[in-house]
Amino acid sequence: MAGYSIRKEDYIKRLRRIEGQVRGLQRMIDEDTYCIDVLTQISSTTKALQKVGLGLLDEHLHHCVKAAVAESDEAGNEKLDEAMVAIERLMKS
């Protein structure tokens, strides 16, 4: 079971709102909205997405990674290495 299962509904709700923002962006472009206003909306959408990412990472560390560390040193290291790759990727995106 994924670590975020308990708050699943909350994540889906937030992603649905982000989906609405992306649809709003299409409408803005279609209606020739001023570039800077479109960029403001893009920044806010990106931030919302990254917040979801940070939330998932937090729960991943508190559940999957913690469980793996408790299981064995090897399992813990594997999960931590994998998490670091994800953190680096989030940082660059």
Q: Which residues bind its own copies (CB under 8 A)?
A: 1-5, 8, 11-12, 15-16, 18-19, 22-23, 25-26, 29-30, 32-36, 38-40, 42-47, 49-50, 52-54, 56-62, 64-66, 69-70, 73, 76-77, 80, 82-84, 86-93
Q: How far is the CB of 56 from its own copies (least distance, A)?
A: 5
Picking from 50, 45, 52, the residue whose alpha carbon sits closest to that of residue 24 is 45
Q: How far is the CB of 88 from its own copies (least distance, A)?
A: 6
